[in-house]
Amino acid sequence: MDINQETVNDLAKRLMHRIIARKLATDPAMIARAKAEYAGMDPSNDEIRHVREWKRILELDLAEIRRFLTSRGERGDWLRPSSPFVFASEIDALGDVPTRRRIWRAAKRVAITKARREMEAARMAQTAP
């Protein structure tokens, strides 16, 4: 079964950010470390859309940041690859190659399951009177 690689990658990034969101609950200082990722940047980088968006997100309260990190949708999928939390999280598992592979395989299983459900729904819709 062919699945869209981009879909798998987006799911894997969301799974990684679920780990980060859980860690944020016990270590809210991660937000300050994430902000520090942008503090040293050239101010002209504020013109880059994803930098502006992340700076806005980092000003939200903890619950809203955690909710955003795991949210579905285009905005989350677009911003997660540039997440300052990936570098500031200090979560050893995210840097561990075997763990990253497990996350990617889990994302691939989810994408395959979703594709199968969509195919089944389409088949059922075609046979419905």
Query: pLDDT digit string (tens) for 21-76?
Result: 999 999 999 999 888 887 776 666 666 888 889 989 999 999 999 999 999 999 99
Going from the C-alpha of 41 to that of each of 45, 59, 74, 113, the distances in angstroms are 7, 17, 26, 41
Distance CA 55, CA 37 (A): 10
| Domain extents in the chain | 5-127
pLDDT of 83 higher than 70: yes
What is the overall mean pLDDT for the chain?
86
Q: Which residues contact 21 (CB under 8 A, 6 or more apart)?
A: 66, 69, 70
Q: What's the pLDDT at 62?
A: 95
Q: What's the pLDDT at 100?
A: 82
Using left for φ > 0, alpha for ψ between -120 and 50, and beta otherwise, residue 73 falls in: left
Going from the C-alpha of 101 to that of each of 25, 98, 105, the distances in angstroms are 25, 5, 6
